[in-house]
Chains A and B, each alone.
Chain A
Amino acid sequence: MKLADLTQRAGEWLRGAGPMHDVVISSRARLARNLASQPFLSRCNATQQREIAERLRDEILAAGIAKNVFYVNVAAAGALDRELLVERHLVSRQHAEADHPRGVAISGSETVAIMINEEDHLRIQVLRSGLRLTEAAEEITQIDDRLEQSVEYAFHSKYGYLTACPTNVGTGLRVSVMLHLPALKMTGEIQKVFRAARDMRLAIRGLYGEGTEASGDFFQISNQTTLGKTEQQIVDEFFGQTMPHFIEYERRAREGLMKSQKAAVEDKIHRALSLLRAARLMSSDETMHLLSLVRLGVNLGRLPEIDLRIVNELFLLSQPAHLQRVCGHEMNDQQRAEARAEFIRRRLLQDN
């Protein structure tokens, strides 16, 4: 298994249709871990960083943490490959753009990705489609247990798992969900969601995590408190107490829209699909906007002929690095807009 094999389709977490998939695209659990008796990354010299990267790569590959695990040496990868990893949510943008020894171990299904030498020595991620936080958290614990048999982590009896940034210390666990909230965005009630999230000490970000704007109709919500709670409490609070409200809120907004402005909403949805099927030039931003409306249409039962999985895949495959990989050559903005429009037309046609 290697990176090139991944480009033709979306990862399982995006292709699949997990619970509550009308609102929840994916669930993610992430653990931050560091080696005991080693400085954190910023105080390591290049030799130490290389040694850590190689050692952790070997340990991860030997630990049998998931099926078909393969390793990508991110430091040696080309710009396009690194961008591809970011688009697939397998590495963070910071990790892709850094310039020290680093890598990522990825499971064949792409549900597991372990970044080596990001801000911490290890950043373990488990991604699942739909609202599947409990499963993601269970799997990440198992992986952590496996690795712990051969790797000694920096751990403190009072502060727990020690991390480079004290905002991650303790459990090192962040859970997050990617939400599709088009109706709340349309009605302008999204601001209330932002406020509610902040009051509950949750962070809201855009599609690509830290440092990206919460723009468009996709929002990533995550816990911020990692210390002073058990892993189970973190998951339970997030999954049991928080998520149902957000999902319910979006569903009600959708119902409300369909009651009060049915014709207008249906018009938007069908126009979006028609544009995607007919346009000859399509920018990234416009694609996101139109696909979001089509996704809403499918979930409202307005577009029975469209398969949700195709729509989900298009979100990914129409991104710049994927598009260039699928087409097999590098392209400028203008060329990409043309290739993107054609690619989307073909996919939506195939679906019929």
Chain B
Amino acid sequence: MKHPCDRCHNRPATVHLTEIIDGEKIEKHLCEQCAANEGITVKANIPISQLLEDFILQSSDAECDDEAGDLVCDACGLSFNTFRKHGVLGCPNDYDAFSAALEPFLARAHEGATQHLGKVPSRAASTQKKQTAILRLRGELKDAVAREDYEAAAALRDRIKAMEKE
């Protein structure tokens, strides 16, 4: 049977914590709600929709009429400021036109990444394809080193070298 919450004595305790104050150990068993009321609940990471909202809000502040805001894509005519207001880009070329201003946002939205490692269209220019293939191998190499799989790492390093020579 579940331990009832120490505060409300009603809901089951699902948050358990031990505090040590002046060498004395105090155990607390609280339900989610009481834990939240006490401010114990750990603030969760920000979900993406909120990230985008924050980004848009933050960038619509007056202080942000910097150089980035004046950028305009010469292909579709979208300005970076308009993107910041609505969060939607106007055409593929925007990624190049705004790249310096966009990258910090991409990094925040994608766990720090700003480089594609996935699939490449079969019709894409071979150089593009190769670039991405090599980058992908580099990622695998990093993983192999992290898990101390040196045999795999050596093989990957050789493959990368061979591809770079091609």
Contact = CB atoms under 8 A, between A and B. Distances in A.
B165 interface: no
A153 B44 CA distance: 36
A119 B88 contact: yes
Given A157-B132, A230-B136, A39 B122 contact: no
B91 A39 contact: yes
Interface in B66-122: 75-78, 86-92, 95-96, 102, 105-106, 109-122
Interface in A75-125: 119
Contact of B128 (A37, A157, A187, A233): A157
A191 B127 CA distance: 48
Contact of B31 (A166, A188, A227, A228): A188
Contacts of B127: 157
Contacts of A230: 117-119, 136, 139
Nearest to A261: B1
Interface in A16-53: 34, 36-40, 42-43
Given A148-B122, A167-B48, A173-B118, A36 B112 contact: no
B26 interface: no
B100 to A, nearest CB: 12
Contacts of B46: 198
Interface residue SS majority, chain B: loop
Contacts of A36: 92
B15 to A, nearest CB: 9
B122 to A, nearest CB: 6
Given A43-B78, A155-B124, A188-B31, A166 B45 contact: no
A194 B42 CA distance: 12
A195 B122 contact: no
A47 B46 CA distance: 39
Contacts, number: 163
Nearest to B124: A155
Contact of A162 (B48, B95, B109, B123): B95
Contacts of B12: 187-188
Given A195-B42, A199-B44, A170 B92 contact: no
Contact of A188 (B32, B105, B121): B32
B131 interface: yes
B119 A171 contact: yes
Given A141-B119, A187-B12, A195-B44, A225 B32 contact: no
Nearest to A228: B113
A231 B118 contact: yes
Given A166-B106, A224-B47, A156 B116 contact: yes
B52 interface: yes
A167 to B, nearest CB: 5
A66 interface: no
A61 interface: no
A148 B107 CA distance: 28
A160 interface: yes
Given A154-B92, A155-B124, A157-B131, A171 B110 contact: no
A192 B15 CA distance: 9
A347 interface: no
Interface of B: 1-2, 11-12, 14, 31-32, 41-42, 44-49, 51-52, 75-78, 86-92, 95-96, 102, 105-106, 109-124, 127-128, 131-132, 136, 139
Interface of A: 34, 36-40, 42-43, 119, 141, 144-145, 148-149, 152-167, 169-171, 173, 187-189, 191-192, 194-195, 198-199, 201, 203, 210, 224-231, 233-234, 260
22 contacts: A36-B92, A37-B92, A40-B91, A40-B92, A42-B88, A43-B76, A43-B91, A145-B122, A152-B121, A155-B120, A159-B106, A160-B116, A165-B88, A165-B89, A166-B95, A170-B110, A188-B12, A191-B14, A191-B32, A210-B49, A225-B113, A230-B119
